[in-house]
Structure 1
């Protein structure tokens, strides 16, 4: 078995992915993926759930109840709620990922 890795701006991410793959082939646990923090993974999951809910014609309020619970969703007036803005942002973010933004997840952030 051989791997050919292009030496471009994504080299380090490709090397890490190859290392995780090889460890799995060898039956060892893969190293953790460093492309996203646990908080980013949590937000990504919420974005996908929110976009899926909206695609299935759920209202923003219904999505808020599903993601954050009924108590939190009804604790303040909905039209001026910061939770409403958050849910709308999650839906927009989820739609952006579905529209091709997920490709950015495959790349490591570069420090300037």
Structure 2
């Protein structure tokens, strides 16, 4: 038995880069403790605690279309529905049963009950 550490995803709308290219598919990896600790040292988080989510997602989204490197600027530029989708995916793969992902169509919103942390 092996541990799955990466999950492919398809964003509901997609990220549009500076050249106008749409990127919808990507990969997210499991987070490690450092992914949640390091953002707390960032001055942007000291100004606004919510920014930690942007930093964490920039660390764990390892691929997004042909974007060479996913950065906080990339995450900041996502449409709200895509940002929410990645937050839900993060919660599912790090804190919940990932079997819910097998039944979803690419880009489909996650069922509300699947993202509640119990």
TM-score range, shorter-chain basis?
0.3 to 0.5
**If each structure's helix is expressed as a fraction of its own residues, which one has the higher value?**
1
Bigger radius of gyration, 1 or 2? 1
